[in-house]
């Protein structure tokens, strides 16, 4: 089998440095949200620099360990039109997709995936994938790893990589 040798990308060191700066900015933002703003954010959680968390009621935002919130996702913990402040919970090992909206007072269970663009208006049971507007359950009984990575898809990818390595 002919194997193509890949040359290092000329911007490799620049790209690595940019990623390091980005990761540092994410960690600094998490520190600020936890320590200064007062949000309840678990360990090993990743929140995009472009995600919007409720700053009107920051103590009402609760995010579990190992959760990832993608860009332009919005998490509300207040509703000015109905004049109330509440608590919004996102469980452990969840993935909140890009451009999704978690409405105030919602509880997203552990090991859930919220699809991109979903508007979550009702509580989400643990181990569910939801999507749509309003969000509805698309699949139940799932298991996720850290950052909401589907366990069965992850194991399948590992097996495929091992097969590829054995063939090579």
Alpha carbon distance 40, 30 (integer Å): 10
Predicted local confidence at residue 165, as pLDDT: 82
The model's pTM is 0.88
Q: Tell how strand 113-114 and strand 95-96 pair up.
A: parallel
Tens digit of pLDDT for each residue in 87-128? 999 999 999 999 999 999 999 999 999 999 999 999 999 999
User: What's the total number of domains in the chain?
Assistant: 1
Q: For the sheet containing 46-47, what is the strand order?
A: 46-47, 68-69, 95-96, 113-114, 128-131, 136-140
pLDDT-derived band at 6, boundaries 50, 70, 90: low
85 pLDDT higher than 70: yes
Q: List, in sequence order, every residue forming a beta bridge with 128; answer none if it has no partner.
A: 140
Residue 22 lies in a domain: yes
Residue 134 lies in a domain: yes
40 pLDDT higher than 70: yes
Alpha carbon distance 105, 63 (integer Å): 13
Mean pLDDT of 51-58: 97
3 pLDDT higher than 70: no
Residue 143 lies in a domain: yes
Alpha carbon distance 102, 121 (integer Å): 7
CB atoms within 10 A of CB 151: 13
Instruction: Kindly report the CATH number assigned to the domain that includes residue 105.
Output: 2.160.10.10
Residue 66 lies in a domain: yes
Domain extent at residue 106: 12-167
Predicted local confidence at residue 164, as pLDDT: 85
Asked if residue 105 lies in contact with residue 89, where contact means CB atoms within 8 angstroms, the answer is no
Residue 3 lies in a domain: no
Backbone angles phi, psi at 127, to 5 degrees: 70, 35
Predicted local confidence at residue 166, as pLDDT: 82
Residue 6 lies in a domain: no
Residue 16 lies in a domain: yes
Mean pLDDT (the chain) is 93
């Amino acid at each position: 089998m002919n194997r193509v040798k890949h040359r290092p990308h000329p911007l490799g060191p620049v790209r690595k440095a940019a990623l390091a700066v980005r990761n540092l900015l994410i960690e600094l933002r998490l520190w600020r949200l936890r320590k200064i703003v007062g949000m309840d954010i678990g360990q090993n959680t990743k929140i995009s620099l472009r995600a919007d968390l409720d700053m009107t009621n920051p103590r009402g935002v609760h995010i579990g360990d190992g959760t990832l919130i993608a860009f332009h996702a919005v998490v509300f913990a207040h509703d000015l039109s109905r004049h109330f402040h509440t608590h919004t919970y996102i469980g452990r090992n969840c993935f909140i997709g890009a451009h999704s909206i978690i409405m105030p007072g919602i509880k997203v269970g552990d090991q859930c995936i919220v699809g991109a663009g979903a508007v979550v208006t009702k509580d989400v049971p643990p181990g569910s994938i939801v999507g749509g507007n309003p969000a509805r359950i698309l699949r139940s009984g799932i298991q996720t790893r850290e950052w909401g990575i589907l366990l069965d898809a992850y194991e399948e990818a590992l097996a495929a990589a091992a097969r590829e390595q054995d063939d090579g």
